[in-house]
Each structure stands twice: as structure tokens, then as C-alpha cells.
Amino acid sequence: MKDNTTAEVIIRVRGLKNQFGSHVVHENLDLDVCRGEILGVVGGSGTGKSVLLRSIIGLQKPTSGSIEVFGIDVLADAEAARDTLDERWGVMFQDGALFSSLTVRENVEVPMRAIQGLAPTLRRELADLKISMVGLEYLAGDKYPSELSGGMRKRAGLARALALDPEIVFLDEPTAGLDPIGAAAFDDLIRNLSRSLGLTVFLVTHDLDTLHAICDRIAVLADRKVLATGTLEDMLGVDDPWVREYFHGPRARAAFKPSSPDVASGEDP
């Protein structure tokens, strides 16, 4: 696990409120994300995990609050500043969210088309590089999303998220729907890319195995805010009914058994 006590904060959320009609999803939500960490965001159904992600990247306009990324106010700064941010982060939505009428290679090329003067040949070569980086074979570039398995579509979506060499990658439920072997392989891929590329990863997940395998810190959403942040070991000591059920339940004991004997035995740490 990384030491975040002196790490640079590159995403800073303060007093965030998201409301849809009379339904308040977030209120007075604060969160920091540090450079180079893999942050896992968890919470019960309806706690607004994906809404928080969409708020940070500008797809959801909050009712109030502030969001800064690299010191830029996401909610208030000029369009040019937002364009700069779009080049510094990549996003992978659930199931890859690929354009069905484009091949994998063409999907990966989409963000690159905003770069003026980038020759089509070079754009194609860069796309093939990204496809290779996520563990897809070269021939996958010529396939359409409908011709891919679920795991391959997720890898293609990740390749597109990496198209512009971002500093931050946002992943929304990246292992959802994968079998245990495929999910573990995808976890390994995220961890290896994060370390080799120096990526900061904001990862919305419900997968306990993912939290255990790759996350440096965990943020728990509950009661309309970030209830707790910390390492996996920190979560085991949080006195909250949902947190205790989530991190001390049978599935958690199975996921954490190799390195958390106290959890495996059912004893409190």
C-alpha cells in the first residue's frame, strides 16, 4: 500500500451536493484523491458511486459544492481549461461503452482525432499500441464490439481510455460481469498499468477481490457522503452497520483470507 500522508492531492471534492428532484444523493461530500494511488469507491445501491464519478469528469452538474482536478475548478473554469482536463484523464464506463459501428481500433482512435496534425497512419499505430498494452491480440483491432467477449470489450474500453496517455483513469465497475479468472486478470492489468505508467486510478467497484488485490485506499459512500476513507485494514475497524456487514461478511472473509487471518476466523481485528 502507498503512503498517502505526504502525497499530492490531484482531485479535491468539497461540499458536494447532487440532487434529482426531491431525492438528495450526495450532501456535504468531501473526498481527496492522491497522485499515483488506486482508490476504490464502494457503497450500497443508490449511494451515488457512478454519480460521483460523473460529477468529477463533468458529465453531471452538481447542485452545489466544488471539484478541483489538477487545481482547475471543474465546475467553473472556462471551456479551454476543461478541454485541457479532458486530455489528462481517460474514462472507461461499464462494459466498455464502445461505439458499435466502429472497430476496436477505430474506437481507440476516437479521442486521438482531436489532436490536430496527427497523421492517420500514426494514429493507427498508436491505437494498435494501446490495444497491445491492454493484452488484446493485434487482430482484435479489426473486430467490432459485437464480435468480442465481455472481457475483451472491457479491455478495448480501457485501451480507448488510455488513448491520450492520461494521468488519471476513471473506471466504472471494471470487473462487473466477468468470471473470477477474468476479473483477477483484469485486476492484474489495472495494477500493472498503474505502476508502469504512473497512473492515478479512480475505481468504482463492488468487487471485494478487487479491493483486496489492487486498491491502495478505499472510500465508502454512505449517508449521502464519504463515510470513511483509508486502507483495507482501516475499513475493518469502522463502526458502521453497512461497513461491518460488507467488510466482515462471508464473502469478505473468503476474499481476504490469504492475508487477513483475523477476518477469516470471524474475529474482530
Query: Which tens digits make up the pLDDT trace of 237-269?
Result: 898 999 988 888 766 656 566 544 444 444 443
Residue 216 has a pLDDT of 97
Residue 7 has a pLDDT of 82
**For residue 15, which phi and psi values (nearest 5 degrees)?**
60, 35
Q: Which tens digits make up the pLDDT trace of 91-121?
A: 998 766 899 999 999 999 999 998 889 999 9
Cell numbers at residue 195, please?
505502476
Measure the CA dihedral 86/92/96/99, to 10°: 0
Cell numbers at residue 64, please?
452545489
3-state secondary structure of 34: strand
Q: Does domain 39-59+86-256 have CATH number 3.20.20.110?
A: no
Q: Which tens digits make up the pLDDT trace of 25-72?
A: 999 999 999 999 999 999 998 899 999 999 999 888 999 999 999 999
Query: What is the number of residues in the chain?
Result: 269
Q: Is the pLDDT of residue 169 over 50?
A: yes
Residue 261 has a pLDDT of 46
The count of other CB atoms within 10 Å of the CB of residue 13 is 22
Q: In angstroms, what CA-CA distances link 167 with 11, 92, 151, 220?
A: 12, 14, 24, 23
pLDDT band with cut points at 50, 70 and 90 for residue 76: confident
Cβ contacts of 133 within 8 Å, gap of 6 or more? 159, 162, 193
Q: Which tens digits make up the pLDDT trace of 177-206?
A: 999 999 999 999 999 999 999 999 999 998
